[in-house]
Amino acid sequence: MPKGVAASPGIAIGKVYILEKEDFCILEYKIKKEEVEREIKRFREAVEESKRQLEEIKERVSQKIGEKEAYIFHAYLHLLNDPLIIDETVERIKKERLNVEAALRKTYKSFPRKFDIAQTGFIQERFRDVEDVGERVLRNLLRKPALTLSHLDESIIVVAYDLAPSDTVSMQRDKILGFATDIGGRTSHTAIMARALEIPAVVGLRDITKRVKPGSLIILDGNRGRVIVNPTHQQIERYKKKYQEFIDYRKKLVSLKSLPPQTLDGREVELAANIAGQEEVDLAVRNGAEGIGLYRTEYLYMNRRTLPSEEEQLKAYRKVVEKIAPYSVIIRTLDLGGDKFLSHFPVPREINPFMGWRAIRLSLERVDIFKIQLRAILRAAQHNKVKIMYPMISGLEEVKRANAILSQVKRELDEENIPFSKDIEIGIMVEVPSAAIMADLLAKEVDFFSLGTNDLIQYALAVDRVNEKVAHLYQPLHPTILRLVDSIVKSAHREGIWVGACGEMASDPLYMAVLLGLGVDEFSVAPTSLLEIKKVIRGLNWAETREVASKLLKLSTSYEAKRYARQKLAKKIKKILSGD
């Protein structure tokens, strides 16, 4: 059974439609000197035609799907002005006397070699963008129509090496049951698009395009990241049942939408959503989010060639703020670095990027970039409740410096007579062990804490969060993590401030129950996990989770802690989730 990455939840059973990546047959030949100008002219015309097409697609995407997805095309359009592609192709035609098709293909195929940077998943994906753009120009040169998914007679599961954003745009949403691709991770375009469109998807299946035939039947399980090729009758029946259960389960969960996230014995917590862009807000609202607990703004800076302006950021933040009103939005300032890079922003190559020049460190050095973001946030805060959260805080100095810059920005806005919100709460991500250990002092300086468990576990246990080789050591219930969370919560409460959890631990019912028992006041989870987590909260007794948590704090290994938590809570949670 091919196994990949569960990129978008849901189950699909249907016929395969293979979206082949066309391999153009390109002839390479030398042209005569007098043909050079003609070839360059053909190239420029094809580039202009490609720009027109991309503008049109961009417009369609921003209306049909969302502005964030449209940004990808914005980036594509920039590539069509990039000297690394345009001037270099022209140079090849002139100097090497190559025909335009061959010159263009050579240029975009050699693109990766021009970067002296680690080829992370993110950067590899951007290289595919270059290829996608290059092929569009090539198609226009050859006068070949673009591949399209717009005239489908029946519902299908799209199987492809990868899906370019332009493929997903032209398709008929109601005919697409699911996506299965050879490559990609959770941050690939296919995954992002699939989640935004709520289409089940499994990516990173390696060779799924070779394992299936057009028209054959497959089952795609977007919850578990599996694909079954040519399933048996029994498997089909089993998955039909699972599909129905999934649909019924979702429907049942929707009935919880307007109920409070309150335990059986009356402990009410806040339940908010994590988002990476404005297009996820609708999904969060549909799933009953009472606020945005983490707005990862770095995505606004990615997939493009220039930094976003103050006005552009203001527009994006304002949309989120207005859509989620009357609830609040916690806007996290830029958390670049680690595994999140910008192709246009020169971050030096580092051996340990997760411990390098990133997040608040970068903002405190590039005050120009930081100030623009703070101005946009303060201005957006006029329209409803907004809180600011600094990422990767490791000590008091950073909070003080960031706050000093914030005060300066407020003064500047005042002087310029630009309206903004003066009373804005400030919080920090507690995700670096040094901050966790000195939470008592930090709690005096800020209005709230949010536990970034993804990084806190990585740093406290020295386990790289993206390295599969050490994944077994990544233990959320490690005694160190439990002790740290316990002491952070106590320090915060002593100073009268609240503690949230926005790392993945909050989206896992068992771990969330432990955090609840440790006294966490707010949970911020992926929009699609909101109702499930709410259901669990509503089925638990706070007193019971507190008892479990205090026992867990006395255990000495992750193994014991996991076993104990499972023994005490797992069965109960399963029952809560399967009940009405």
189 catalytic residue (yes or no): yes
Contact, 333 vs 370, CB < 8 A? yes
Q: How many Cα atoms sit within 13 Å of 140 on the Cβ side?
A: 19
**Closer to ligand PEP at the Cβ: 182 or 522?**
522
Site for ligand PEP in 326-355 (CB under 6 A): 335
**Closer to ligand PEP at the Cβ: 159 or 402?**
402
Judged by DSSP in three states, 197 sits in: helix
503 binds, among Mg ion, ligand PEP, none (CB under 5 to 8 A by kind): ligand PEP
Site for Mg ion in 422-451 (CB under 5 A): 431
Rounded to an integer, what distance in angstroms lies between the CA atom of residue 491 and that of residue 499? 10
Rounded to an integer, what distance in angstroms lies between the CA atom of residue 553 and that of residue 210? 50
**Closer to ligand PEP at the Cβ: 431 or 521?**
431
Which residue in 415, 419, 7, 411 sits closest to 184, CA to CA? 7
Q: Least separation, in Å, of the C-beta of 358 and ligand PEP?
A: 10
Q: Least separation, in Å, of the C-beta of 185 and Mg ion?
A: 17
Contacts of 443 (CB under 8 A, 6+ apart): 449, 491, 492, 494, 495, 497
Cβ neighbours of 373 (radius 10 Å): 23
Rounded to an integer, what distance in angstroms lies between the CA atom of residue 34 and that of residue 97? 10
Contact, 387 vs 427, CB < 8 A? yes
| Binds ligand PEP (CB under 6 A): choice among 66, 178, 500, 503 | 503
Rounded to an integer, what distance in angstroms lies between the CA atom of residue 202 and that of residue 191? 8
Q: Is 452 in the site for ligand PEP (CB under 6 A)?
A: yes
**Closer to Mg ion at the Cβ: 452 or 476?**
452
Give all strands (DSSP E) within 204-302, no chain letters. 217-221, 226-229, 270-275, 292-296
**Closer to Mg ion at the Cβ: 430 or 548?**
430
Cβ neighbours of 464 (radius 10 Å): 16
| Binds ligand PEP (CB under 6 A): choice among 303, 453, 491, 528 | 453
For the record, the structure tokens of 73 come out as 């095309």
Stretch of residues binding ligand PEP (CB under 6 A), selected from 4-12, 198-206, 249-257, 452-460? 452-460
344 catalytic residue (yes or no): no
Q: Least separation, in Å, of the C-beta of 275 and ligand PEP?
A: 11
Task: Name the catalytic one among 74, 78, 383, 502.
Answer: 502
296 binds, among Mg ion, ligand PEP, none (CB under 5 to 8 A by kind): ligand PEP
Measured between alpha carbons, how far is residue 350 from residues 339, 341, 354 in Å? 12, 12, 9
Rounded to an integer, what distance in angstroms lies between the CA atom of residue 196 and that of residue 405? 35
Site for ligand PEP in 455-484 (CB under 6 A): 455
Q: Which residues of 35-47 are buried (b: 16+ CB within 10 A; e: fewer)?
A: ebeebbebbeebb
**Closer to ligand PEP at the Cβ: 332 or 379?**
332
What is the contact mask toward Mg ion in residues 450 to 479, using x (rule: CB under 5 A)?
Answer: --x--x------------------------
Closest residue to ligand PEP, based on beta-carbon distance: 503
Which residue in 335, 293, 319 sits closest to 502, CA to CA? 293
Count of residues near ligand PEP by CB under 6 A: 10
Contacts of 424 (CB under 8 A, 6+ apart): 377, 378, 381, 386, 387, 388
Cβ neighbours of 212 (radius 10 Å): 23
**Closer to ligand PEP at the Cβ: 129 or 431?**
431
What is the contact mask toward ligand PEP in residues 406 to 445, using x (rule: CB under 6 A)?
Answer: -------------------------x--------------
Q: Least separation, in Å, of the C-beta of 431 and ligand PEP?
A: 5
491 binds, among Mg ion, ligand PEP, none (CB under 5 to 8 A by kind): none
Site for ligand PEP in 529-568 (CB under 6 A): none
**Closer to ligand PEP at the Cβ: 49 or 464?**
464
- Determine phi and psi for 159, rounding to 5 degrees: -115, 125
453 binds, among ligand PEP, Mg ion, none (CB under 5 to 8 A by kind): ligand PEP
Task: Name the catalytic one among 78, 151, 189, 383.
Answer: 189
| Binds ligand PEP (CB under 6 A): choice among 157, 205, 502, 540 | 502
Q: Where do contacts with ligand PEP occur on this chain (CB under 6 A)? A: 294, 296, 335, 431, 452-455, 502-503
List active site positions.
189, 502
Q: Where do contacts with Mg ion occur on this chain (CB under 5 A)? A: 431, 452, 455
